[in-house]
């Protein structure tokens, strides 16, 4: 049984070290790479003969690769060559095409949210059809998008038109970030939080496209919310006036009332999965019937550091340690632990600089950098499940 959970692609966050660490906590949620633009992948791969980003950890299964691109002067052929590079060199079970990133970098690369605009849809569908023709026999294909684009496309009818075109290309999985994306005048960070969540719109898309796997993304931070959505309940966490800043309630065919409808197929969790990965300690048994890993934190951190030591020259020590920063969220002495991590990384940087400048300095492994910090927290010899239960019962200081 596959998990209905997935972890959102996040640039500079869902790196290969993070994915390896996450798999030590939970086996089943689908993981996504960071988004990489097709032209960057194509140019860097052909220039350098490879990319660390493509070199998956051998023990990490069920990873989807997200690619953005296909617009502007980039040809469909070049875009497909980039997809082929990713699938040939990486161990991916899904290829995801980004159609929702609002960042200026994405727009300058003619990818992301611009694909959702009425004037960009036909070209985008041509890309999807070719991707489907070439790669549907090799991997699962999906599209990730927003529910609309402000100010050009902010209504249910516009979204239905877009999804209809994507559906016509052969794509049968769509991840809907249940917010409108704002082009221009709003930062990428604010685009993740300011436009209101409109969950009932996602339910409506599932109702209209029953043969499409619909995954809801946006604002989900706990399993209670996941269960609620998977059961088909869509209380819109909104104030009507907030929705109407981005299109009238009539345009979205919203009543402001509770919606009980068709269950969606899955839920994608973003920042919460990075900032507190321990919440997934029982996700395997809860959603798939698999036995939970439920290792001790000492086992997880030791195993992780040992693997990172093999990759530190390729990835860099800072990137190897970065995912460890948030593993003890909610645990006793977590603040002291994070200060310790920052201090030890700075110490390592100073020692490395001395060595690089021809002086004498300590050569430290990943484990040696982190050992002092691990001993700060109170839960190293607890399983992840035991430590999470202690948080819930307030038996562990927070």
In the predicted model, what is the mean pLDDT of residues 335-347?
A: 96
pLDDT band at 281 (very low <50, low <70, confident <90, very high): very high
Q: Which of 247, 107, 244 is nearest to 187 (CA)?
A: 107
Structure tokens at 158: 């516009």
One CATH from 3.20.20.300, 3.30.70.260, 3.20.20.70, 3.40.50.150 for 5-287: 3.20.20.70
- Residue 269: which H helix or E strand, with range? strand 266-269
Helix (H, G, I), strand (E, B) or coil at 148: strand
Exposed / middle / buried, residue 346 (Cβ in 10 Å: 0-12, 13-18, 19+): exposed
Is-cis flag, bond preceding 151, omega within 30? yes
First-residue to last-residue Cα distance in the chain: 36
Lowest mean pLDDT among 26-35, 124-133, 233-242: 233-242
Using CA atoms in the order 89, 90, 95, 99, what is the torsion angle rounded to 10 degrees? -90
User: Do 344 and 376 contact (CB within 8 A), yes or no?
Assistant: no
State the pTM of this model: 0.93
Where are the chain's structural domains? 5-287, 297-392
Segment 343-364, tens digit of pLDDT: 999 999 999 899 999 998 888 9
Instruction: Give the integer Cα–Cα distance in Å for 119 and 96.
Output: 22
Q: Answer for the pair 75, 81: CB distance below 8 angstroms, yes or no.
A: no
Least confident interval from 12-16, 106-110, 319-323 = 106-110
Average pLDDT for the chain: 89
> Which of the two residues, 372 and 311, has the higher pLDDT score?
372
pLDDT at 396 (0 to 100): 43
Asked if 328 and 390 count as a contact pair (C-beta separation under 8 A), the reply is no
Token pair for residue 74? 């980039």
């Amino acid at each position: 049984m596959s998990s209905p959970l997935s972890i959102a692609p996040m640039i500079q966050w869902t790196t290969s070290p993070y994915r390896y660490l996450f798999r030590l906590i939970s086996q089943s949620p689908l993981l996504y790479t960071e988004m990489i633009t097709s032209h960057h992948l194509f140019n860097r791969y052909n220039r350098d003969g490879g990319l660390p980003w493509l070199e998956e950890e051998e023990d990490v299964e069920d990873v989807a690769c997200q690619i953005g691109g296909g617009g502007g002067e980039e040809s469909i052929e070049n875009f497909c060559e980039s997809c082929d590079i990713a699938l040939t060199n990486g161990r991916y079970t899904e290829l995801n095409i980004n159609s929702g990133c609002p960042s200026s970098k994405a727009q300058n690369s003619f990818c992301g949210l611009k694909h959702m605009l009425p004037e960009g849809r036909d070209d985008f569908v041509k890309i999807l059809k070719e991707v489907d023709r070439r790669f549907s026999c090799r991997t699962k294909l999906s599209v990730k998008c927003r529910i609309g684009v402000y100010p050009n496309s902010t209504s249910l009818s516009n979204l239905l038109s877009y999804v209809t075109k994507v559906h016509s290309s052969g794509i049968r999985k769509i991840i809907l970030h249940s917010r409108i994306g704002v082009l221009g005048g709003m930062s990428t960070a604010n685009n993740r939080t300011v436009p209101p969540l409109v969950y009932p719109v996602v339910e409506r898309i599932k109702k209209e496209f029953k043969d499409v796997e619909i995954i809801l993304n946006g604002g989900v931070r706990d399993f209670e919310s996941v269960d609620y959505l998977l059961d088909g309940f869509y209380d819109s966490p909104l104030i009507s006036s907030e929705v109407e800043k981005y299109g009238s309630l009539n345009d979205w065919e919203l009543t402001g009332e509770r919606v009980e409808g068709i269950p969606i197929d899955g839920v994608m969790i973003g920042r919460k999965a990075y900032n507190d990965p321990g919440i997934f300690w029982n996700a395997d048994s809860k959603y798939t019937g698999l036995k939970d890993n439920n290792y001790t934190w000492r086992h997880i951190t030791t195993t992780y550091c040992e693997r990172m030591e093999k990759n530190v020259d390729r990835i860099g020590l800072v990137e190897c340690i970065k995912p460890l920063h948030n593993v003890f969220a909610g645990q006793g002495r977590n603040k002291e632990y994070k200060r310790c991590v920052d201090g030890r990384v700075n110490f390592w940087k100073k020692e490395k600089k001395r060595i690089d400048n021809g002086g004498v300095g300590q050569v430290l492994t990943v484990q040696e950098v982190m050992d002092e910090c691990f001993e700060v927290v109170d839960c190293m010899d607890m399983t992840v499940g035991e430590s999470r239960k202690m948080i819930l019962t307030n038996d562990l200081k927070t």
